[in-house]
Structure 1
């Protein structure tokens, strides 16, 4: 059985740190917590779980802080988590089996990151990350924020998930990091332009976000998955600016890079549904449903756009097209994911009355 060091960076996480550590501390052989300047009870809570609590002067660079936390690891593999992450019970069982069976030749194990959930427990955002890495390979963190590990070698894709359950969100923190980067005159990579666009979008600077996404798309460098998502996110910005023509153009632009993603297909359906062109809208929603799940996908995946969401919209489209049986069938599909959704329940009651 391999040995594992948990490495974390924390700051003012008293509300969530114990929850995180309770879910993982018995799965690992060592817990290293690096505090970057807490003023609450974070350090005291950390010391209830480990005597390996260290301190790091915050420089504004997450990659440097994460690398500092890795420097304290002494076991064969390093697992990293954020304080508002947890490992749920099903994934704890999978993790234990992985630890028992892992071939020491493996350099990294990727795991799902379930970065968001809706009120019904459905995952809203999922992607893969190199989560358990061999310490001796000395893999390095890259990026000022939205960091990633530069990993090579033998990588195994597991079905284990780390679940993110935040209770607060620093909306402008990452945006300020990128703005400081610009003020210093630091060069931006294609990846920087993508994530800067995301931060601008989240802070409702839609026109600026569009320009940043365009810079990402125009560059010949960068990950193709980021370019696909840049097109889709750019379309959202155009929608917020009430520019429907450019919204649709941006969505179709995403097709240039790879096969259509359900996130784009459902949004195209939305465009035609808003125009009350229901048959065309239904076509695009049907394509979204037919897109199979890709469990090897590393980029952002929003499962709603191939599951309950297009089914719920198809219910509406077929209702107005006069096909009540199809409307009911798709509403029932949506109900599998959102059994108490008031829109789904309203549709069910209405359609049952009309079909009686």
Structure 2
């Protein structure tokens, strides 16, 4: 059995930190909490779980804070988490099994990260990151924001998943760090250029995001990031109400990938927003046909996408006067997520229609 240190950096996480620590308290051998300036009860809660709570003066660099947390670990391996993440019971058991059986030859272990929607009901995104690293290898975090661990050696891709459920709303914290570096004349790496564009997009600076992501697509060597950048540029134009221009970028994605649910969905949505409901339904229906195919890759959860597609088909068919088709897709949505507010509202609309008839 290996020994395991949990290392976290936190700030103002009183709403979620207890959930996180409760999910690992009986698994890890040590908990390291590095606070970067909380003004709420985060530190007081953390001290209920560990005496190893440290203050770190924030210097606009996530890697420095994470490397400081790693320096305080004393066990064979280090697990890192954010406060808005946790393990459910199934993955707690998987982590215990991994801890009991991990070979000392392994230098790092990757976990899936399952992002939940705001209602804590559906997985909206699945990613994979290095989560456990060998202390003796002295791996370092790199990057002042959107940091990553520079890993080498034997890596194990595990079947363990961490649930990421963000409670805080999107902030401009990361964007400010990027702007500060740009204004200081620091040249951004290709990786930072990509994330800078994404931060601009998330904070609704669409014209700037287009410019930055366009620059990134001329430099990128990672196909996945090119596709994501093209999709985000397309979405920027969508939010700027230039639907035709948005589709130009969605179509460009097919130069890099096979038929893909996410791209189909973006194209369908662009037609729906233009109120071209017949064209929109054609693309949405194509998505449902793609589901059974093994010829596409999609990082988003199928149930989540199924819900959105069926909801859109419900709306589009209703606008086209195809009430029976609309009701069929409403029932599909109801099967997937009966507590969704759109489902509840549409249920009332269809009940009124049925009552009148």
Give the structure-1-normalised TM-score.
0.87
Does the 8 A contact of 2:77 with 2:133 survive in 1?
yes
The residue number in structure 1 matching 2:354 is 353
Shift of 1:267: 1.4
Shift of 1:319: 4.9
Match of 1:45 in 2: 45
The CA RMSD over aligned residues, in Å, is 2.9
Tell me the residue number matched to 2:100.
100
Q: How many residues align?
A: 352
Q: Distance in 2 between matches of 1:185 and 1:300?
A: 35
**1:175-186 equivalent positions in 2, closer than 5 A:** 175-186=175-186
Report the Cα distance in structure 1 between the residues aligned to 2:274 and 2:111, rounded to whole angstroms.
Answer: 40
Q: State the secondary structure of the residue aligned to 1:129.
A: strand
Q: 1:204 aligns to what?
A: 204
Decide which moves more: 230-239 or 110-119. Answer: 110-119
Distance in 1 of aligned mates of 2:224 and 2:136: 30
> What TM-score does the superposition give when structure 2 sets the normalisation length?
0.87
Q: Deviations over 1:106-148 (max 9, x none)?
A: 2222222223324261122332111122222322212111112
Cα distance in 2 for partners of 1:117, 1:322 equals 31
Change (3 A) 1:120 1:220: closer
On the 8 A contact 1:291/1:306 being kept in 2, the answer is no
Moved more, 24-33 or 40-49: 40-49
Q: Over residues 19-72 of structure 1, what are the superposed CA-to-partner deviations in whole Å (9 max), with x where a residue is unaligned?
A: 321121211011111222334443333222112223322211001111111112
The reply to whether residue 63 of structure 1 matches residue 63 of structure 2 is: yes
Q: How far did 1:310 drift?
A: 1.0
Q: 8 Å contact 2:12–2:38 — kept in the other structure?
A: yes
Q: In structure 1, how many angstroms separate the alpha carbons of the residues matched to 2:208 and 2:9?
A: 31
Counterpart-to-counterpart distance in 1, 2:36 and 2:321: 60
Change (3 A) 1:51 1:181: same
Gaps of 5+ in 1: none
CA shift, 1:104, in A, is 2.8
Unaligned runs of 5+ in 2: none
